[in-house]
Amino acid sequence: MLSPNDWTNLPERRAFTYTPPSDPLKIIYTDDDLLIIDKPSGLLSVPGRDNPDSAQTRLLDLHPESLLVHRLDMATSGLMAFARNKPAQRHLGLQFERRHTTKTYIARVAGQVAGKSGRINMPLIADWPNRPRQMVSWELGKPSVTDWEVLEHEDFATRLALHPITGRSHQLRVHSWAMGHPILGDRIYAVDEVFNAAPRLHLHAWKLGLRHPKDGTHVHFEAECMF
């Protein structure tokens, strides 16, 4: 068993083959302006250079009018919002850009997190020689803030609710790692013991709140966490 201090030693780059799940795309909600899906772990949000299969392309097969609003990491599961027309896309896109949405993720992280809640305020920047890895940089990083609260302590792990205030790439994964508790199953940031502790990245976009693009009313969505 590694000590908690060893969990923050970054691993060597792991080999990876894109093998997305073949299950039908799960649509949580739809109306004339808005589409909400529950993206499975392992499926790209948008097509990659060599990987055309993605949540966006699968949704276009079902709803050709659907328009991208935001993204999730490939390994992250949970709620993604799409628009069904250009005005709705602009309305929703501005909400995400201006941080007017509310987002809650569930994560299982290595070890016993001390305390009941807290805030991680660590600026992030791309680690260009090791892309897609991101890193903390107090000199060059962009402001990145995550609030957290403990949901449950387990023998080896802690279940957290994570509330990203900003929306940087890999923010929740890097912030969890930097606080000494990397997310179980994280191929990019977790050492072998933590990576092998789960069959996938244990990070799920659980709840999403936003204003409906038609009339501005607050709407809230939830996708069941499967770990």
- Can you tell me the distance from the alpha carbon of 1 to that of 143, in angstroms, rounded to the nearest whole number? 34
Nearest-angstrom CA–CA distance, 159 and 152: 5
Q: Indicate the pairing of strand 34-39 with strand 117-121.
A: unpaired
Tell me if the bond preceding 132 is cis, omega within 30° of 0. yes
73 catalytic residue (yes or no): yes
CA distance 85 to 32: 8
DSSP 8-state secondary structure symbol assigned to residue 11: P
- Catalytic, out of 73, 147, 155, 192: 73
Query: What is the C-alpha separation between 191 and 156, in angstroms, rounded?
Result: 15
Q: Which residues contact 52 (CB under 8 A, 6 or more apart)?
A: none
Q: Which residues are catalytic?
A: 73
